[in-house]
Amino acid sequence: MIVPHAGYIYSGEIASRAYSYLKQQADRIKRVILIGPSHRYFFQGCALPGVDYFATPLGQIPIDTQSVEILRKIDDIEVSDQAHAFEHCLEVQLPFLQRCLNEFTLLPILTSDVSPKTVARIINSVWQDENTLLVISSDLSHYHSYTEAQTLDQQTCSLIEHFEPTLKPEQACGSTGINTLLLLAKERDYQLKRVEQKNSGDTAGDKERVVGYVSYLISEPE
């Protein structure tokens, strides 16, 4: 999945449209790999948390500590609670997952200065079963006028839908994660479906400086 991570009043509707598809697969999904961009800290590679749980008002989610132990041995991975402490892009997805799934473990990965090919290699090492859901957290363009954002975001969606892993941060703040997913999806011959696309001017903001949002489902061919 690709889902946005702004405040719920702005992008919650767009994210929820994609998450609603998970309910019919709630019994199957036992683990979630969640990838998003670090907004506050710059570092080399990816960051995993060192804790055993993430918590929301809906309860605790156990971290997939077994995968953390496997990945922390990779040069492009660091374990950093500091990087995760004030980061919103992963945590905003958790209540959706808690409401749509049953029991699951979480592997939360923040990306910073790292290539999509490197992240794809990392994900491939732990994404080996059909019980794992991969979620990419990303908004689209930031702070353009409503009309300009519509044009820019449509161009970005066109790249996504043609499986072109060339997105830049100005097109999508989580471009590394999206590009990673596009590489994996193309390699596995997955299909892609756009569920919802809007911007903050359509939901709870003004139309002078908007942020773009989109949600996608990516799956094996039917």
Report the CATH number that the domain containing residue 164 is assigned in CATH: 3.40.830.10
What is the domain extent for residue 141?
A: 2-219
pLDDT at residue 220, as a whole number = 86
Give the residues of the chain that fall short of pLDDT 50.
none
Q: How far is residue 215's CA from residue 30's CA, in Å, rounded to a whole number?
A: 22
Residue 125 is predicted with a pLDDT of 83
Q: Which amino acid does the sequence have at 56?
A: T
d(CA 97, CA 34): 10
Q: Are 195 and 142 in contact (CB under 8 A)?
A: no
Whole-number pLDDT of residue 222: 72
Greatest CA separation found in the chain?
46
Number of independent structural domains in the chain: 1
pTM for the predicted model, two decimal places: 0.96
Give the HSE-up count for residue 110: Cα atoms under 13 Å, Cβ half-sphere: 26
Burial 69-90 (b: 16+ CB within 10 A, else e): eebeeeebbbebeebbeebebb
pLDDT at residue 128 in the model? 72
